[in-house]
A and B are shown apart, each in its own frame.
Chain A
């Protein structure tokens, strides 16, 4: 079993932020929110999260595994299917490309690029 070498990851500093980046908080809240809506039992979640962490390399950050486990559970519970995911991902990519740096990123922004290029 790897991870026996002392210290790496054993970060003893106090007062570290709860979430390092906003997406971690978003991913966290989605899991808790779906659970609170009764869409899965907490132990079902813990099983999938444990499995994901076990399969991933120890260098993979915790919330990355958390997010992968979220993708697994929404698909397993048939809340979202894979084609919906790939279409929506493409829409966000288009929205990002159409949104000037610093402006709020919204899905509808993806249509503004068309306006600009047509003019």
Chain B
């Protein structure tokens, strides 16, 4: 041990200090409890992620009745698979067609369908994406290596605390008769935000 405490004591960043200050007070006052906080972190780090959404999309592709239930009431249809939102938000699915491509943004903050996609990627929360997805969606898509025919209409959906969107990408060709499980492997996170397309069978086997 050194003589000088200044050199070997522990240090936190200002952010760590701020969080620990709030956390310790909120725990002491009983507004939150440690076990619940641990479950929340564990859930979002490991359990909830875009595989949930991929199952929803694959089922929608494979089962017309399920697709209809998604159109009628997406929150309930998604809850059928065990994925429920914790913030009381409503879900809506937006379906890509050969004529229309859908893309999701939250211009104000970072509203995102957590229950089916997990937490948003860094770029989704960035200022450039939040503004440019609306002002120049085609250019943003090209930066994601997505090029669409000139006459494809691009529809941008702005999420709110109350309404979150899940894009149903176009089902790739050459997947007739595939199981939902196999189809789900074609569904990427970005394809459900609209900044990507579903993978082709070649891309997954490659």
Contact = CB atoms under 8 A, between A and B. Distances in A.
Given A16-B122, A32-B40, A33-B36, A27 B12 contact: no
Contact of A92 (B20, B118, B132): B20
- Taking residues whose C-beta sits less than 8 angstroms from the other chain, chain B's interface range is 35 or more
Contact of B22 (A28, A30, A53, A100): A30
A12 B161 CA distance: 25
Interface in B39-61: 40-41, 44-45
A10 B129 contact: yes
Interface residues of A, number: 69
B87 interface: yes
B51 to A, nearest CB: 13
Interface string A36-60: 1101011101110110011000100
Interface of B: 1, 5, 8-13, 15-26, 29, 31-33, 36-38, 40-41, 44-45, 86-89, 108-111, 118-119, 121-123, 125-132, 135, 140, 143-144, 160-162, 189
Interface of A: 1-12, 14, 16, 18-19, 21-23, 25-30, 32-37, 39, 41-43, 45-47, 49-50, 53-54, 58, 62-64, 67, 70-71, 74, 79-80, 84-85, 88-89, 92-93, 96-103, 105, 107, 113
